[in-house]
Amino acid sequence: MYKKIVFSLILTFLMALSGLSYGDSRAQAIYKRILKSGVKKGKAIAKTADEMDIGFKDQQSIMRMVLIDASGGKTTRIMATKRLEQKSDGDKSVFIFKKPNDIKGIGLLTFEHKRKSDEQWLYLPASGRLKKISSDNKSGSFQGSEFSYEDLGTTEIEKYRYKYQEDGKFDGQDCFILIRYPTERSSGYSKQVSWVRKDNFQPLKVEYYDRKNEHLKTLLFKRYKKLKGKYWRAYYMDMENVQTGKRTTLTMINLRIGTGLSKDRFTTRALKRS
């Protein structure tokens, strides 16, 4: 009896340990399947990461954004975010500012589209105004941070060309080094160079190059966790503008997926109400 209990405990511990591993056999299976279908390596890497995220349904979190200027001064903003997966098109998302008080209640609703420009609305509670805004200005800074609107949207595969550069290493992890070139003219970047982990196809670092092809920003992804046994999420992101020395960090708090959000939470009416 004693041996059975010990054996069960060891087995349980080993199973739990395997869950903590960052390797992902599902990712490998998807990657092999896509490569076999004849897709080039660069696009296959991107498609694998994209396909791994299919089925999350919805996501919500509180996001703490810390803006750090070149001299180290900090400004903190808190946002509530919601995202709804769409089967045949890009995702819908809502950002609502919670702090500080002078921007509390400002909301941004985005309908991402795979093959046409995204739709965006901004709600300003001080005036009660709902404004349709141009999503072509996505290279602009999101609320004064080093993240642009383009950085915070989901990366639709169709909006980039991909090139596999070489294998590499970052932070002790084996990576694919992948270059992607935006196809949209409204993009603020000429290219993005990503270090993508070979075992789970999640990005660890992305270097952004401006339209003059100069290194503009570096984004680091940290504290990955696997939710619902399938979906990888980085709980910490650090974007540094290498040209100005400014940084913005994003920390996810209370991130949940598959919470049952309905599409009526992603309407202009709901934006005004929230």
Where does this chain bind other proteins (CB under 8 A)? Answer: 101, 104, 117, 119, 127-137, 186, 262-264, 267-269, 273
Alpha carbon distance 122, 155 (integer Å): 21
Count of CB atoms situated within 10 Å of the CB of 73: 9
Least spacing, CB of residue 255 vs other proteins, in Å: 18
Least spacing, CB of residue 64 vs other proteins, in Å: 18
Pick left, alpha or beta for residue 229 (phi over 0 → left; psi -120 to 50 → alpha; otherwise beta).
left
How many helical (H) and strand (E) elements, i.e. helices and strands, does the chain have?
5, 13
Angstrom distances, CA of residue 46 to CA of 27, 155, 195, 218: 11, 9, 11, 19
Least spacing, CB of residue 101 vs other proteins, in Å: 5
Pick 33 or 113: Cβ nearer other proteins: 113
Pick 102 or 166: Cβ nearer other proteins: 102
Pick 40 or 263: Cβ nearer other proteins: 263
Cα–Cα–Cα angle for 75, 79, 80, rounded to 5 degrees: 165
Least spacing, CB of residue 128 vs other proteins, in Å: 3
Least spacing, CB of residue 150 vs other proteins, in Å: 14
Show the tokens assigned to 204.
């660890």
Tokens 């992603």 appear where? 266
Count of CB atoms situated within 10 Å of the CB of 213: 10
Pick 4 or 116: Cβ nearer other proteins: 116
Pick 166 or 264: Cβ nearer other proteins: 264
- Phi, then psi, of 200 in degrees rounded to 5: -130, 5
Nearest to 137, CA basis, from 123, 120, 161: 120
Least spacing, CB of residue 269 vs other proteins, in Å: 6
Pick 154 or 186: Cβ nearer other proteins: 186
Alpha carbon distance 258, 256 (integer Å): 7
